[in-house]
A = this chain, B = another copy of it.
Amino acid sequence: MSFVTGNKIRISLFGQSHSEAMGTVIDGLPSGFKIDEEKLAAFMARRAPGNDEFSTTRKEGDKVRFVSGITNGVTNGAPLCGIIENTNTRSKDYENLKDVPRPGHADFAAWSKFGDNRDVSGGGQFSGRLTATMCIAGGICKQLLEEKGIHIGAHIASIGTKKDDLFDAVNVNKEDFVGEKSFPVINDEKGEAMKEEIRKAKSEADSIGGTIECAIVGVPAGIGDTLFGGWESKISSAIFAIPAVKGIEFGRGFEASTLRGSENNDAFRMKDGEVVTSTNNHGGILGGISSGMPIIFRAAFKPTPSIGKEQESVSLSRKENTTLIINGRHDPCIVKRAVVCVEAAAAIVAANMIL
């Protein structure tokens, strides 16, 4: 299901890792909005690989061409379609994966659902590359939200067992965002330890997981809905659309399950005539609805399944056990590149909640 439909904005994503092109259609944008294409390109570039030691040496030219929805650089009210032409694909790297699914990857599930007609090249529609289409939509939503004083920022919260500092859940604001850093962490010293984790994994032809923390600031109290329409339902639904995410928690999250109510409840206080909470264990969401405090969540990313080590798998055609060596170029850790995807998914949800 490549469609996400909300009250305001409807988005459809298309493409496979090595299809001719991939892209996104966004319906429901207000007319008269000037998309800052340079800013969008910078946003997209945060996801693109090949710009440092930690990512695959593939070159991905994530240049967005808007083929509809824009007149003279400004949205015209028609559905906007942004396309990225695919180039520099090395499909033959994937030939042996057609019969032998990669452990931990979507290969086997894809074969179960779509059979032999699935696109195997580069992971087909299951490729992390497709998050580029989500970033087109998310990058535009982010710009729309910024006009309304709502800002979204994420950072790497951990790589393996090495942790960054967390946002100050009560006071975080856009000045605290570090997304533009080449290694987006709050505490650069801790970032060095995290980089070292990645280097170690890479040197052993292995990969490593991590977590990302995201904050949405500037959302007024009273936005959202109950039950299936709450912020947690909507955000989690979008975040799990990013490949490799296996967990999400809001505010104090799993740790809250170990606490007493007297510890976890956030006291209400008056501040400058507004109701605030003195702590933010609730992560800015109460009963599915925004409380006016920063919305905070963390997502867990499993380690990239594509590793260089020999692994045990099966031959789908011969129905027998075999081993697999994966060739091709792969990231030892996709967490760094996923930071911008988390922001994009959050922006899509927030735009639908707020616009």
Contacts and interface: CB of A to CB of B under 8 A. Distances in A.
A115 B144 CA distance: 18
A259 interface: yes
A25 B2 contact: yes
A1 to B, nearest CB: 2
Copies in the complex: 4
Contacts of A249: 246-249, 254, 300
Given A71-B119, A254-B300, A287 B106 contact: yes
A209 interface: yes
Contact of A221 (B112, B258, B267): B112
A47 interface: no
B314 A275 contact: yes
Most chain B C-beta atoms within 10 Å of own C-beta, residue among A83, A107, A250, A287:
A287
The A interface, classified by DSSP as helix, strand, loop or mixed, is mixed
A138 to B, nearest CB: 13
A282 interface: yes
A276 B293 CA distance: 45
30 contacts: A1-B229, A1-B230, A5-B5, A10-B12, A16-B69, A19-B69, A76-B125, A77-B113, A77-B117, A78-B124, A103-B268, A104-B266, A106-B286, A110-B289, A112-B289, A158-B257, A158-B258, A206-B261, A233-B237, A246-B250, A254-B254, A257-B301, A261-B305, A262-B307, A264-B302, A268-B313, A269-B312, A270-B319, A270-B321, A275-B314
